[in-house]
Chains A and B, each alone.
Chain A
Amino acid sequence: MRRPLSWIVAFGRFWYSFIIGDDWTIAATVAAGLIVTAALNARGVAAWWLIPLIVVVLVRVSVQRSKREPVAPRR
């Protein structure tokens, strides 16, 4: 019973690390951006610019934040 459980835990940890990483605000902001883009697109508004704009702002904010906390190497 312990082996499947540890496999599930490892599987969950992998996806957490893959999606969330060490800055959860990236995944949260991208998810919010995609939802808003989908909503605008459904109303016929051209929304292709929103995600690129979010990426530009997000990189700046995330770099500033990570300079305060040193990033540990990924394993």
Chain B
Amino acid sequence: MTGVVPVLITTFLAAMVEAIEMVVIVLGVGETRGWRSTALGAVAGFGVLAVIVAALGVALSAIPISPLRLVVGSLLLVFGLQWFRKGVVRVAARGLAGMQMAGDDTAERWTGDGVDWTAFVLSFKGVVLEGLEVAFIVVSFGANANQLGASVVAGAAALLVVGAAGAVLRPLVTRIPRSLLQLVVGVLLTTFGSFWALEGLGVTWPGQDAAILGLLALYALTALANIAIERRRDALVVTPART
């Protein structure tokens, strides 16, 4: 039997990594598409999670998570790449000053009457997958150390702390121009999508979870390089060389 404090610390830190991924997705999608459908998706995701956790309890660890990672990761990768590409094109075309003045009339914000299913599905999937991973961490750490109560407290605390941090950071996120935000969220969804899809296939990432930071850096550099190339090309088209 392991002590309470080591279980609290290890469960809290491991659950916090998953909770950060969940909050980043919900925050990014909410600010880009609008909050109503994103919040509905998150609430529905937590509802499904609550049912699964209540029904299975400790038997939760028997659920095969790899197929879920593959499906959710592949969908996020494909959708994230669409926003990645559009974000690069829009930021390259307007630049930051131009976007702030123009009011971003072509950004991805939902303007329809009903539910924005895109925001709903992105938020729902992020909450269900990451929430399940938090639940797995809580169950496996708690059961192995025979300290399930402590690991439940640590997992719940990690969700609350990261959720509160997201709420505090939200005013800063609203200041980011929408097209730049679309690019940032596109890069993040592509990063998480790549990581989860390959984990779902059983591929081992070098550095394990730290590979997410490597992917993020690679995709951010790709975005910056593409923006620079497109801006230079646009400048050459607007001001052709005189003969």
Contacts and interface: CB of A to CB of B under 8 A. Distances in A.
Contact of A63 (B74, B117, B230): B230
Given A47-B203, A60-B226, A19 B75 contact: yes
Interface stretch (B56-64, B77-85, B148-156): B77-85
Interface stretch (B19-27, B39-47, B105-113, B127-135): B105-113
Interface in B7-51: none
Interface in B92-115: 92, 106-108, 110-112
Interface string A6-20: 000000001001110
A56 B108 contact: no
Contact of A59 (B88, B106, B121, B233): B88
B216 to A, nearest CB: 11
Contacts, number: 99
- How many interface residues does chain B have, given as a range? 35 or more
A31 B198 CA distance: 12
A26 B205 CA distance: 23
B219 A48 contact: no
Given A18-B75, A59-B85, A51 B226 contact: no
Nearest to A40: B203
B96 to A, nearest CB: 18
Contact of A75 (B78, B112, B190): B112
Contacts of A18: 75, 78-79, 117-118, 121
A67 interface: yes
A73 B226 contact: no
A34 B223 CA distance: 22
Given A18-B75, A18-B79, A62-B81, A37 B203 contact: yes
B86 to A, nearest CB: 6
A18 B71 CA distance: 13
A41 B89 contact: no
A55 B110 CA distance: 27
A30 B75 CA distance: 10
A2 interface: no
Contacts of A66: 85-86, 89
Interface of A: 14, 17-19, 21-23, 26-27, 30-31, 34, 37-38, 41, 46-48, 51-52, 55-56, 58-60, 62-63, 66-67, 71, 73-75
Query: Which 4 A-B residue pairings sit nearest by Cβ, starting from the closest?
Result: A21-B82, A62-B85, A73-B106, A38-B201
